[in-house]
Amino acid sequence: MTAAIAPPDVAAPGVRARPWLENGDRLSRAEFERRYRRMPEVRKAELVEGVV
């Protein structure tokens, strides 16, 4: 079975649209918190000096 790949701004129904948290991302505190809230399955994530 293959999955369709949607552009970053568009997601298939039932699929979370990007962006999400990834190790090494450089984010502002506000953007980190926004993405963290959108990922309830993530139990712990840290932003250290702007890096996830």
Residues 5-42 have pLDDT tens digits of 444 445 556 665 667 899 999 999 999 999 999 998 98
Output the pLDDT for position 20.
87
Q: What gap in Å lies between CA 31 and CA 26, rounded to an integer?
A: 10
Instruction: Report if residue 34 sits inside a domain.
Output: yes
**Coil, strand, or helix at residue 26?**
strand
Total domains present in the chain:
1
Asked if residue 14 is part of any domain, the answer here is no
The answer to whether residue 8 sits within a structural domain is no
pLDDT at position 19 is 77
| Domain range for 26 | 20-52
With respect to residue 47, please indicate whether it lies within any of the assigned structural domains.
yes
What is the amino acid identity at position 1? M
Task: Give the separation between CA 42 and CA 9, rounded to whole angstroms.
Answer: 21
- Is a pLDDT exceeding 60 seen at residue 2? no
User: From CA 19, how far away is CA 27, in angstroms rounded?
Assistant: 11
